[in-house]
Amino acid sequence: MRRYIGLDVHRDYCYAHLLEAGQGEGRRLRFPNTAEGRADFVARLGPEDAVALEVSSGAFRFTISWPTGPGKWWWWTPG
């Protein structure tokens, strides 16, 4: 089942909001902004998942050690 995930990266933690197709309410996740935390998040993604990552100062740390994984990724800059 396809999930839509919005990802907000901060210095110490990453926050994600997951919406599953056909479901009204989403779920919130928080995981450490460390190599292990990012790798664990990406490992849980499936090939149908779509992830949007806010591109701001916190995102640079995430992308420098970008773990590879399935799914589709989009980047956006707020404001």
Q: How far apart are CA 63 and CA 7, in angstroms?
A: 12
Q: How far apart are CA 79 and CA 76, in angstroms?
A: 10
CATH number, domain at 52? 3.30.420
CB atoms within 10 A of CB 16: 18
Q: What is the tens place of the pLDDT at every residue in 32-78?
A: 988 899 889 888 888 888 888 776 665 555 554 455 555 555 555 55
N- to C-terminal Cα distance for the chain?
31
Number of domains in the chain: 1
Q: How far apart are CA 50 and CA 64, in angstroms?
A: 20
Residue, of 54 and 79, whose pLDDT is higher: 54
Specify the pLDDT at position 22: 81
Domain residues for 43?
3-76
Element containing residue 58 per DSSP (H, E) = helix 57-64
Average the pLDDT over 8-31 and give the result. 88
